[in-house]
Amino acid sequence: MKVRAKLCGLTTQDDIDAAATAGAAYIGLVFFEKSPRNVAIETARSLALHAPVGLAKVALVVNADDAALDCITASVPLDMLQLHGVESPERVAAVKARYGLPVMKALGIASGDDVARAQLYAGVADQLLLDAKPAEGDALPGGNGLSFDWRLLEGESWSVPWMLAGGLTPDNVAEAVHCCAARQVDVSSGIETAPGQKSAELMAKFVSEANR
């Protein structure tokens, strides 16, 4: 079975083209002002419209309120919302009900307790994204190039599809997939030459290595 890759933090039409050429299943558009990958709503709309049919468009938001989500969803054609903050299971359910879009909940993993907590979201989210837990004081909830001990996921089963994230690169993604039997992977900083600057070559290598 092919491993589905999500290439996150794309900011230009060239990025979209490179992701499609690489064989990505998802692209991520970041709506978080502190991120070097943040895009304005108008830019995100043009990027989403540029994406070819079949490439799923995911909006990454961090503790966004309804007003912010209303603006994003009214302007940008999306296939999924990714909640990357400290949203509760109740908030995830409310977002799903309000916008009628599939919701992916990102969760930081550093211990077995975090894995158990992630299971609480399996009943309300359509997908889970298991990421490295950011260090205390980090300004960004993800995209920090940090990884976690993938062995924490060994033997876990999930009632919804899940995606592995956190510090993945073309050099380690094959090992990560093998270690925890991930069928979906997410990358942002691992396909960049500088924060927010994507590399078409690294995108292609990442997707290829994920399926090696």
108-147 pLDDT per residue, tens: 999 999 999 999 999 999 999 999 987 655 555 555 567 8
Give the mean pLDDT of 69-78: 98
Question: In angstroms, rounded to a whole number, what is the distance separating the alpha carbons of residues 212 and 196?
Answer: 26
Give the mean pLDDT of 59-82: 98
> Total domain count for the chain?
1
Closest alpha carbon to 163 in 144, 136, 142: 142
Tokens representing 146 are 């940090």
Residue 160 belongs to what domain range?
4-210
Name the pTM for this structure.
Answer: 0.93
173 exposure class (CB count in 10 Å sphere: 0-12, 13-18, 19+) = buried
Question: In angstroms, rounded to a whole number, what is the distance separating the alpha carbons of residues 120 and 177?
Answer: 23
For residue 202, the model assigns a pLDDT of 98
- pLDDT digits 0-9 by tens, 147-196: 899 999 988 889 999 999 999 999 999 999 999 999 999 999 999 999 99
CATH label of the domain that carries residue 52: 3.20.20.70
